[in-house]
């Protein structure tokens, strides 16, 4: 149960096979199709939430159009990137925790 990406062979829209694209999310590999957003990749792989709110409630995609900021992730050490707005590129390192900040000396 949960979200899923429709396999190309079953898709009435007949999308081109753009080839696989793999990113790592908290160290684990997640594969989708070239041209997908980070959120699309995560949901397509069955993840429904990946962040927690201030009081620890789970958050994933809510608005899907960049308005709600529920889906924030860290991409290649850049925090607070909206996963639904950012297209994934091969080898992106995604973390669901913000990067640890170095305290100034």
Partner 1 sequence: MAAAAAALRHGARVTLLEAGYNLGGQYWRHLAHERRGAQEHRLHHGWSTFQRLRDEISGHPDCDVVFGASVWAIDRHDDAPPVVHVMVGAPDGTDREPRSYTPGRLILATGGQERTLPFPGWDLPGVFTAGAAQALAKGERVAVGRRVLVAGAGPFLLPVVSSLIRTGATVVGVAEASGRSRLTRGWLTRPWELASASSKAGELGGYLKDLVRHRVPYWTGQTVVAAHGTDRVHSVTLAALHPDWTRVEGSERVVEVDAVCVSHGFVPRTELAIAAGCQLDEQGFVTTDAGQQTSVPNVYSAGELTGIGGADLALAEGEVAGTTAAGGVPRPLLVGQRKALRNFATRLEAAHGIRPGWQTWPDPGTMLCRCEDVTVGELRDIAAKTRSRGLRSLKLTTRAGLGVCQGRTCGRNVEDLLGPNLLQAGRTSRRPIATPVRLGELAATLTPEREDPLP
**H or E segment at 38?**
helix 38-44
Q: Is 93 near partner 1 (CB under 8 A)?
A: no
Separation CA 3–CA 16 (nearest Å): 21
Q: Residue 87 forms beta bridges with which residues?
A: 37
- For residue 62, the Cα-to-chain-centroid distance in whole angstroms is 13
Instruction: Return the residues of window 63-92 that contact partner 1 according to CB under 8 A.
Output: 63-70, 72, 78, 80-82, 84-87
Q: Is 95 near partner 1 (CB under 8 A)?
A: no
Task: Return residues touching partner 1 (CB under 8 A).
Answer: 1-6, 10-16, 18-19, 33-37, 39-40, 43-44, 48-49, 53-55, 57-70, 72, 78, 80-82, 84-87
């Amino acid at each position: 149960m949960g979200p899923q990406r429709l396999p190309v062979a079953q898709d009435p829209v007949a999308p081109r096979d753009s080839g696989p694209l793999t990113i790592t999310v908290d160290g684990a590999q997640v594969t989708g199709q070239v041209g997908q957003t980070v959120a699309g990749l995560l949901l397509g792989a069955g993840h429904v939430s990946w962040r927690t709110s201030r009081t620890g409630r789970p958050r994933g995609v809510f608005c899907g159009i960049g308005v709600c900021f529920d889906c924030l992730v860290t991409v290649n050490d850049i925090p607070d990137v909206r996963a639904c707005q950012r297209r994934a590129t091969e080898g992106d390192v995604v973390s669901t925790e913000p990067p640890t900040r170095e305290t100034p000396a």
